[in-house]
Chain A
Amino acid sequence: MVQDMTALREGQRTRATAPFPSTFALKLVMAVTGVIFIAFVFVHMIGNLKVYGGPASLDSYAQWLREVGYPLIPHKGVLWALRVTLLVSLVAHVGASVILWARGRRARGRFRRRRSSGVTAWAARTMLLGGVLILGFLVIHLLDLTIGRAVAPGAYQPADADGTIHAYTNLVASFSRPWMAAVYVVWMLVIAVHIWHGWRTMAQDLGATGHRLRAVWATLGALIALAIVLGNALIPILVQLGVIA
C-alpha cells in the first residue's frame, strides 16, 4: 500500500508531457477548417438557389464557375483552387478530429457514464458519426451530380464537347427518385446538427468570452444552420412535389 501510494504521488501521469501536436493547435485546425466548410456550404447553398430561376439560370451559373476569371485565370482555375482548398481542409479536419477523439477516449479511461445531460451533450456525441455520414453523403453527391456514375440517374447527361453543362436536367432527374430525394434531405439535417454544435464549439476554441459576442454568435449560428437546411433541402422536396421539373 505504501509503495502504491508512492507510485501514485510520484506523478503517475496519464502522459509525461503535453502531446504533439498540441490539443490546442488541433482544435484551432478544427475551427479554421470548420469556418472554411461552413462558408463553402453557405455559398454553395446560395448558388443552388439559381435552380428557382429555371434551367438556363442554373446551367449558366455552373458554366460561370468554370470560366470565372478567364483569361486571367485558366479555365476551371477557380474551381480547382476551391477543390484543392476544400480537399486539404477535409484531410486536416478529419485527421484532427480522429486524434482528438482518441485523446478524449484515453483521458476518460475505463469507465463511461451512461447518463448525459441534454441536447448539447447529445449534439456533441453525434459529431464524429455525423462527420462520417457527411463524408459518405459527399461521395454519393459527387458520383450523382458531378461525376455521373454508379448512383447517378439513368438519364445523366455529361457536359457537351463545347462545354455546355446540363446541371438542371441532371438535378431534376436525380431528385425525381424518392429515395435519392430522401438521402439529400437527411444529409442536410445531419449537416445542420454538425454545424449547429460545431459553431458553438468554434466560439469556445477561438476564445470568445464576451457576453454579447456569445449571444450574437449563438443566434448567428442558428440562422446559418437554418438557412442551409431550408435553402438546400427544399429543392429535392419541391422536385418530389412537382414544383421544380
Chain B
Amino acid sequence: MRIELEVWRQDGPRERGRFEAHVVDDATPEMSLLELLDRLNDQLVEGGQEPIQFESDCREGACGACGVTVNDVPHGPVPRTPSCRQHLRSFGAVTRLRIEPLRSAAFPVVRDLVVDRTALDRLIRAGGHVDVMTGTAPDADAVLVTHDDAEVALDFAACIGCGACVAACPNGAAHLFAGAKLAHLALVPHGRLERGRRAVAVVDALEAEFGPCSTYGECVEVCPAGIPLTAVAAVHRERLRSVFRGRAD
C-alpha cells in the first residue's frame, strides 16, 4: 500500500522545524507506525539523506520510549495504544499521515521526532519513589498487602511514562502521570512514612513545569496504560491529605 507522509524535521533544539513530504510505496498492513518510519529511513539512507530521528526501545508497549503525534493525536489514531503498537491495518482508510513530535512546552524537541521528556524524570526524582532498606532480600511475607490493594496499585503502576497524556492536554498538564504514581504509592505499605511529604514534593514538581488540569479528559483517550481520570483526583486527594495531616507521613 502507498502511504503519504508529512514528517517533522528539526535539526536541533534551537533550530526551526518544518514538515517534509515523503511517500512509502511498499508499505504493508502489518507494519507498525515505527516500522513504517524504519522503511522510510531505509529509503532516505539509500538516497543519501539523513534518516528521521525517533525514539523506541521495546516495541511491545512496555517501555514508554516511543511516542510521536500522528494526525494531531499523540501516539496515533488507535486509541490508548503506544506508537509502536499502532499498525497500519488498524488505520482504516487513512493513508496520509502527518507525523510530528509529542508537543508540549515541557517537552523541547531534541531532533526531528525526539523530544526531551526529562521533566517527567524530575517529577519522579522529586517524590515518585519510596525509601527502602537495602541489604539482604526481605522475607516474602514480611510486608503484607491485601490482594485488592495490590491489584489497584498495579493498575496505577501500569503507567509507562510515555508522556502522551501531557502532549494530549490543551493545558500541558501531567496530572494523569503524577496521579498514577501517587495513587500507586499510596496503596502500598512501602514508603508509607513519607506519604505526605511525597504528595507535596510531587505536586510542587508538577506545578513547576506543567499546567493545571481542567478536566478536558484528552489524556485518558491516548494513555496506553489505561490510567483513568481518577488518577487526577488522586493528586488532589493526596495533596489535601497532607494539608490536613501537616506531617511527613
Contacts and interface: CB of A to CB of B under 8 A. Distances in A.
B108 A8 contact: yes
Nearest to B103: A111
Interface stretch (B86-94, B134-142, B234-242): B234-242
23 contacts: A8-B13, A8-B108, A8-B118, A11-B118, A13-B208, A14-B105, A18-B205, A24-B203, A107-B104, A107-B212, A108-B105, A113-B170, A116-B218, A124-B216, A197-B215, A200-B215, A203-B233, A204-B213, A207-B234, A207-B239, A208-B237, A209-B183, A209-B230
Contacts of B163: none
Contacts of B239: 24, 207
Contacts of B235: 207
Nearest to A116: B218
Contact of B172 (A107, A116, A204, A207): A107
Contact of A204 (B118, B203, B210, B236): B236
A121 B217 contact: yes
B168 A100 contact: no
A214 interface: yes
Given A17-B208, A201-B214, A207-B240, 8 more contacts: A14-B106, A14-B119, A104-B214, A105-B171, A106-B211, A107-B212, A118-B217, A209-B233
B236 A108 contact: no
A207 B110 contact: no
Residue from the set A23, A26, A208, A214 with the largest chain B CB neighbour count within 10 Å = A23
Interface in A14-30: 14-19, 22-24, 26-27
A12 interface: yes
A108 B104 contact: yes
A127 B213 CA distance: 13
Given A103-B212, A107-B171, A115-B73, A8 B236 contact: no
A8 B211 contact: no
A8 B110 contact: yes
Interface in B202-249: 203-205, 207-218, 221, 229-230, 232-241
Nearest to A12: B108
Given A107-B172, A207-B233, A5 B110 contact: yes
A116 B219 CA distance: 11
B108 to A, nearest CB: 6
Contacts of A26: 212
B38 interface: no
A31 B12 CA distance: 42
Interface in A62-119: 100, 103-118
Contacts of A13: 119, 122, 208-209
Nearest to B203: A24
Contacts of A5: 13, 110
A106 B105 contact: yes
B42 interface: no
A160 interface: no
B207 A19 contact: yes
B116 interface: yes
B68 interface: no
Nearest to A26: B212
Contacts of B208: 13-19
Contacts of A11: 118, 122
Contact of A109 (B104, B183, B204): B104
A47 B11 CA distance: 65
B169 interface: yes
A4 interface: yes
A42 to B, nearest CB: 21
